[in-house]
Chains A and B, each alone.
Chain A
Amino acid sequence: MLDCGLDMTSTLNFLPLPLVQSPRLSNLPGWSLKDGNAFLDKELKECSGHVFVDSVPEFCLPETELIDLSTVDVILISNYHCMMALPYITEHTGFTGTVYATEPTVQIGRLLMEELVNFIERVPKAQSASLWKNKDIQRLLPSPLKDAVEVSTWRRCYTMQEVNSALSKIQLVGYSQKIELFGAVQVTPLSSGYALGSSNWIIQSHYEKVSYVSGSSLLTTHPQPMDQASLKNSDVLVLTGLTQIPTANPDGMVGEFCSNLALTVRNGGNVLVPCYPSGVIYDLLECLYQYIDSAGLSNIPFYFISPVANSSLEFSQIFAEWLCHNKQTKVYLPEPPFPHAELIQTNKLKHYPSLHGDFSSDFRQPCVVFTGHPSLRFGDVVHFMELWGKSSLNTVIFTEPDFSYLEALAPYQPLAMKCIYCPIDTRLNFIQVSKLLKEVQPLHVVCPEQYTQPPPAQSHRMDLMIDCQPPAMSYRRAEVLALPFKRRYEKIEIMPELADSLVPMEIKPGISLATVSAVLHTKDNKHVLQPPPRPTQPTGGKKRKRASDDIPDCKVLKPLLSGSIPVEQFVQALEKHGFSDVKVEDTAKGHIVLLQEAETLIQIEEDSTHIICDNDEMLRVRLRDLVLKFLQKF
């Protein structure tokens, strides 16, 4: 199984979970059907024309109908964003396999899960809504609730115990490490350049190679650069995880982010940046480190609030081997690879596990706050939205591309604060994909259907789709696709003692043949040719054979034949041996020599010769010997 991401957009249908009681949210009116029926008013609340579920947010799990996840042997994880559904799979499906991921992926994935669990668990909500999920009722609801798919499979967040259990099933791997999977294939993670420890995977047998490219970046950010060279010569390249906002250039967005931040703060406003605790935030802090002095923002405090803020900032500094070259060099100086260490040291950046405690006493405005969750449905961000939403001096800047910012803001309407959308998605865009595919030249590309056509809203943008030759094979949800290659060869090892016994004969310059008589031993998809057992010696004693010696007896070896039969000469030979009524017919595959009198057929084809005669063994043997005269034996 390739990745197991969690669709968290389902949470946008729920009301935010405030850290402290919010009169505004508590007093939202219940929603009733057009006919005035108000039986759902406890579950559904209305806010500025949008309807939300008033319950603990729930998540949309990976597809479970199509495949029995207990039969999955291995899960390969590309990056920490693509493992958020892992506890649901490992703990609730009977999964007994192994999960492979790099160390930073696991560590930062753990932080993301921990933060998620913490955000949800610290504001327990007694109410659990389920009535609205009834299919008959759901039909009556307004969009987007009406159009939500598989709502019955939506689940509450997992627990920390489940997280720990799930993570314990992960086996850590390093870049370029070759991992044998049951002898059938070898998998290798490669740097994908997107995030700390993010990987693309090579899945290869001896004669076939499939590349799985997911969440990759060619931009120069903090992670190790993408390893493109190893993706070459792939039979199939499965491509996914491209940028979600192909029209937004990350550089331009960072510029926009900085400018808007500076303008807000200069006017005395606060800036709220809903974000994940790892990833783009490192790059943003680095940009700000260079920018704040030039923008005269040296005295403005930057706050990073997350239950895992401290761990995230510290982890980033210790994964030196997973960082880009420049940052790796710093480690040897020795200096911290990321400049946020200096921001912390100089008190320009302060981090807190939550709003409670030290933060309350240190809090100074105007300021910039980085906090989660980007969906604006849970986490400390909910509090800041409630706190700052009423003033037009303040700004919320969206940098994470995973959620529609308009939908995220819907339960906060009416909102006075400014909203800026600067999605920073460093993953491959279509131009970069084109270049990558030209460089890597896979025989076939397989990708989601969405990548093979322009976005519906911009149907004229032919540049926003994959353009490659041959055209990419696309797949859609729940579609089963046969990859366009067949396994035709297997590699077989030969034991040294058997190899020693071979006597090659050169049949052409540079080509030698040898007959091999051996036993093919197959175990764990490994094939080994072993020396044949010695002919059974007459047992002198009465000892019984042991079970392990019970290898089938070897028959007397017949010589191997090679060569082709020249038909004309063969006919002459037949005539010489007394067959007078020989007829030759050409067929698509060879010839048929017909001995009319003897009612016998000799079928001569490229790779076979059949003598078909009617119960005349003598004749058959004669003819066979004649045939054999034209062939080489060894």
Chain B
Amino acid sequence: MGRGVTGLAPACLRASQLELFSPGAPGWPFGDFHALPGRRLCGRPLQIRQVARPGAGPEAAEGRGAGLSSLIMDPECSQLLPALCSVLADPRQPVTDDTCLEKLLDWFKTITEAGSSLLLLQENPCLLGLLCHVLKPQDLSPRVLAFSLRLAGMLAAQEDCFQYLQQGELLPRLFGEAGPLGGAAWTAPSVRSGWIQGLRSLAHHPSALCFLADCGAVDTIFSLQGDSSLFVASAAGQLLVHVLGLSLQGPAEGHPGLQTGDWPVCAQKIVSHIEESLRSAATPQITQALNVLTTTFGHCHNPWTQVLWVRLSPLVARLLEKDPVPAAHSLVDLLLSVARSPVLSSSSCGLWETLAQTLSHLSPTQAGPLALGILKLQECPQALRAQAFAVLLQPLTCVLEATAQAPGLLDSWDGTGGASVTVDTLLASKAACVGLLCRTLAHLELLQPLPQRPSPWPQAPLLGATVTILRLCSGSATPTSDAGGHLCAFLVGCVRVQRAALDFLGTLSRGTGPRELVTQVFAVLLEYLTSPDSSPTVLKKAFQATFRWLQSSPETPGCSDLDPHAQLFLRELLPVLPKRLCSPCWEVRDSGLEFLTQMIGRWGGQAGFRRALLASEVPELTEQLLRDPESYVRASAVAAMGQLSSQGLRVTPASPEHPGGQQKSLLAELLHILSTDSEGFPRRAVMHVFTQWLRDGHADVAADTERFVARVLQVASQDLDWEVRAQGLELALVFLEQTLGRPSSHCPYAVTPPVAAPPGPLAQALRPLCRVQLFEFAFRALFDCDRPVAQKSCDLLLFLRAQTASYSGPQGSGSVPEVASVEAALQRWQAGDQGQPLGYLEPEVVVAVLRSMDLEGLRGALAESSDRVEKSPQSLLQDMLATVGALGEDEADCY
């Protein structure tokens, strides 16, 4: 939506108000703000305009005309605001909490975005007073000064308000050299940041550009790019981009052929500064210029960006002639930003040549991110893609060559001739070697799943290289060359490379590979899973990669079982697993159990896997881990046991501790955990298992489902962990669905239109729900102090009410007193007194209570955030005033 001038009554009204409070007029509250009637600012006559905010629309403008100010700032806030401004302006009452000021600014931002800033100023003259006050030489806190600068910028974002503030020369005094810029307060980074953010807000209209030029702000922004505070420096760069964009919004738009010489002065100044910085010998200046350009091309895709790039690209290319290339990371970011820009990438401005040149000039470590970025581009010349891919593959080629292996397809991608540089980097130091390999592996991992990845994808050589790296890391590779020996010395025991290589190996499981290589993959995975030196994190990655490779193994035709090779591997793997489940390191036990759970979930029904698993000690050990001292392990053991039991893989051995003893049923054991475990994770895991069991019709549950559900809900309702209670509702919903039938909608909580159901069967169907006391559980949850539980319960009851909408049972026939007593009990529950149970409820009573409850209203209330009262602007103002004791009622507290 464009900007426009609305007229009519609202504008007239505001004009009259402005007159009332215009500078110098009797209503103007501050004497030092001198009016200069009729003064021309930046060659433009002062106009009072109503600028419609984007998204506001004519209705909004009308709304404002009919007393918008009262809508956007309530009278209570207006009353509190003067006191707050006094507090802020008083150096003796320092505001210690930055977040309050941030919230205050957020609030003002909401107000100014919704309505007229000018009106806000006029209705709240204290704001203007504050802005004028901070200019006085005094010992004001940097916080308040920064706040005022930001507020001023925010207000001046609307051109009419800008003009209004300009009349009293308030803005030059705030943002010009006479303001904080030259004062002692400028040493505070927060003030410099506030100054930048204020200008960033302010720069939204052409008048602002003139203002920036007049007050010399652009030069200050240039200098702030090198500020000691990174936040300030970054914000200065972004402001420069914003100003450049703003200055070129009008003239250069739609004229791609326009020369920069014709650009506005402000834009020319910025471009000249960038050019100067790019020519500089100082790397920080070059970095600043590159960062500004990166942001510009990243955010703005107007035709003028092409003009800019055409002018600056020779300077950028000249950076490549230096050795080493300065600010290489920023240069890569810039080039990728240009390449991603639809305006620039489609033009013939030598971009691809520059990219190719950069790839060959940068060191392997620096070139990696550029190569990845190029390969991710949707449109890119094939030759450049090949070059980029060769750069990415180069370290792996070196690894294969160093271990006297044929690089295979990898060398066919190598067109750069940069092998020696890569070898030098790999062998320079351990840190360089590890860094380059980790980055390379991570880049290739990101690239592998992309549709635009290079084709043909060298799956086999990549597998070979990754396996070799893993072997070098474990010390099992036998390099024959000196380079290989050095690589081995650098990589042995290096956890970082191991993790990166295992991650990539897992990703490579999406493709296929020659049988002998897949065998090597399984061998190296087994080596890692077996090795006592594998760190817990490496082991976890090894488990993950193993699962992915097993998943990708071809299934035996006909029986969907693991293929013979994978089964062979499994036979070797399963003896390792018990050792891992007995590890003194809980992370290892946990990873082992997670892996086991995944395996059972995937192959639990297949004969080969079942045989191998049952022949091992794994099921028995898993059960023992239900009593592990570490709660995470117990939780994983619960999940694994749930899976084992579901698949009928639970064994009943005679343990050494209980030889010949009667084994407790798993259901009882899990119920015991749910009732007694001191940690939440195992209890949550039990609830998940129970829900799954109920869903799947597990034999132990099916034997007496009602008893099971009743028992679980009873225990869950008393749990202190809200996630357990919420999971209880999930279980209740499954039971409800099984009892009443699955809802037709995809969403289980969607209120479905009433389905005609005969009264008799519905009452009968509700009876099991009543017997398991599902309603008592759900009603209790409805008033739960944790909102997610209450919301879930509300949804469940709404669903239930919809299901029973057609029920036309014996309403009111003798059950009225019972309904009333239930309602009374629920009211007490809502008030916090949940001591008294509801007891057994008849279906008719439940239906009646459900109908009488305002569940929709409750859902609406629950949907609002719980701190909605505390978050109100009024509350914020009160809090801020209370903090400094400015509210009368708190005065006594001072003593």
Q: Which residues on the B side are within 8 Å of A266 (C-beta)?
A: 582, 617, 620-621, 624, 655-656
Return A110 CB to nearest CB of chain B, in Å: 33
Q: Which residues on the A side are within 8 Å of B485 (C-beta)?
A: 460, 462
A294-B489 in contact given A268-B656, A422-B532, A460-B479 (Cβ < 8 Å): no
Please provide the 4 A-B residue pairs with the shortest distance between their CB atoms, ordered closest to farther.
A252-B532, A462-B489, A463-B489, A256-B532
Task: Say if the beta carbon of A450 comes within 8 Å of chain B.
Answer: no
Task: Say if the beta carbon of B329 comes within 8 Å of chain A.
Answer: no
5 example contacts (A-B, Cβ-Cβ < 8 A) are as follows: A254-B584, A293-B629, A294-B628, A458-B475, A462-B488
Q: Which residues on the A side are within 8 Å of B624 (C-beta)?
A: 266, 296
Task: Say if the beta carbon of B827 comes within 8 Å of chain A.
Answer: no
Q: Which residues on the A side are within 8 Å of B630 (C-beta)?
A: 294
A255-B656 in contact given A296-B627, A461-B492 (Cβ < 8 Å): no
B488 touches A253 (CB 8 A): no
Contact of B532 among A255, A262, A291 (CB under 8 A): A255
Return A464 CB to nearest CB of chain B, in Å: 8
Contact of B584 among A255, A263, A461 (CB under 8 A): A255
Task: Say if the beta carbon of B580 comes within 8 Å of chain A.
Answer: yes
Contact of B475 among A287, A290, A461 (CB under 8 A): A461
- What string of 1s and 0s marks CB contacts (under 8 Å) between B462-498 and chain A? 0000000000000101111000111011101100000
* In the bound complex, CA of A291 to CA of B621 (Å): 15
A263 touches B489 (CB 8 A): no
B532 touches A299 (CB 8 A): no
Task: Say if the beta carbon of B416 comes within 8 Å of chain A.
Answer: no
Task: Say if the beta carbon of B109 comes within 8 Å of chain A.
Answer: no
Task: Say if the beta carbon of A307 comes within 8 Å of chain B.
Answer: no
- What string of 1s and 0s marks CB contacts (under 8 Å) between A232-256 and chain B? 0000000000000001110011111
B584 touches A299 (CB 8 A): no
Q: Which residues on the B side are within 8 Å of A263 (C-beta)?
A: 578-579, 582, 617
Task: Say if the beta carbon of B588 comes within 8 Å of chain A.
Answer: yes
Task: Say if the beta carbon of B657 comes within 8 Å of chain A.
Answer: yes
Q: Which residue of B lies closest to A462 (CB)?
A: B489
Return B669 CB to nearest CB of chain A, in Å: 14
Q: Which residues on the B side are within 8 Å of A78 (C-beta)?
A: none
A299 touches B578 (CB 8 A): no
B488 touches A463 (CB 8 A): yes
Q: Which residue of A lies closest to B629 (CB)?
A: A294
Number of residues from A at the complex interface, CB < 8 A: 34
A259 touches B657 (CB 8 A): no
A260-B579 in contact given A255-B584, A461-B475 (Cβ < 8 Å): yes
A461 touches B489 (CB 8 A): yes
Given A259-B584, A290-B584, A296-B657, 18 additional A-B pairs, CB 8 A? A248-B532, A249-B493, A252-B531, A252-B533, A252-B534, A255-B584, A255-B585, A258-B584, A259-B579, A260-B582, A263-B578, A263-B582, A265-B656, A294-B628, A296-B627, A431-B493, A458-B475, A460-B484
Q: Which residue of B lies closest to A298 (CB)?
A: B657
Task: Say if the beta carbon of A134 comes within 8 Å of chain B.
Answer: no
* In the bound complex, CA of A461 to CA of B493 (Å): 12
Return B441 CB to nearest CB of chain A, in Å: 21
A460 touches B584 (CB 8 A): no
Q: Which residue of B lies closest to A454 (CB)?
A: B485
Q: Which residues on the B side are within 8 Å of A462 (C-beta)?
A: 485-486, 488-489
Q: Which residues on the B side are within 8 Å of A259 (C-beta)?
A: 578-580, 582-584
Return B533 CB to nearest CB of chain A, in Å: 4
A249-B532 in contact given A461-B488, A461-B492, A463-B489 (Cβ < 8 Å): yes
Task: Say if the beta carbon of A267 comes within 8 Å of chain B.
Answer: yes
Q: Which residues on the B side are within 8 Å of A422 (C-beta)?
A: 532
Q: Which residues on the A side are within 8 Å of B479 (C-beta)?
A: 460
Task: Say if the beta carbon of A366 comes within 8 Å of chain B.
Answer: yes
Return A290 CB to nearest CB of chain B, in Å: 7
B582 touches A262 (CB 8 A): yes
A299 touches B657 (CB 8 A): yes
* In the bound complex, CA of A253 to CA of B630 (Å): 22
Q: Which residues on the B side are within 8 Å of A294 (C-beta)?
A: 584, 586, 628-630
Q: Which residues on the B side are within 8 Å of A291 (C-beta)?
A: 584
Q: Which residue of B lies closest to A256 (CB)?
A: B532
* In the bound complex, CA of A266 to CA of B656 (Å): 6
- What string of 1s and 0s marks CB contacts (under 8 Å) between A263-274 and chain B? 101111000000
B534, B627, B657: most-surrounded residue (chain A CB, <10 A): B657
Task: Say if the beta carbon of A483 comes within 8 Å of chain B.
Answer: no
Q: Which residues on the A side are within 8 Å of B486 (C-beta)?
A: 462
Return B473 CB to nearest CB of chain A, in Å: 11
* In the bound complex, CA of A263 to CA of B656 (Å): 11
Contact of B488 among A254, A265, A299, A460 (CB under 8 A): A460
Task: Say if the beta carbon of A344 comes within 8 Å of chain B.
Answer: no
* In the bound complex, CA of A82 to CA of B655 (Å): 45
A267 touches B489 (CB 8 A): no
Q: Which residues on the A side are within 8 Å of B489 (C-beta)?
A: 461-463
A255, A299, A422: most-surrounded residue (chain B CB, <10 A): A255
Q: Which residues on the A side are within 8 Å of B477 (C-beta)?
A: 460
* In the bound complex, CA of A255 to CA of B581 (Å): 11
Q: Which residue of B lies closest to A294 (CB)?
A: B629
Return A429 CB to nearest CB of chain B, in Å: 10
* In the bound complex, CA of A266 to CA of B484 (Å): 44
B534, B578, B620, B630: most-surrounded residue (chain A CB, <10 A): B578
* In the bound complex, CA of A246 to CA of B630 (Å): 32
* In the bound complex, CA of A256 to CA of B584 (Å): 9
Q: Which residue of A lies closest to B586 (CB)?
A: A294
Q: Which residue of B lies closest to A290 (CB)?
A: B584
Q: Which residues on the B side are within 8 Å of A628 (C-beta)?
A: none
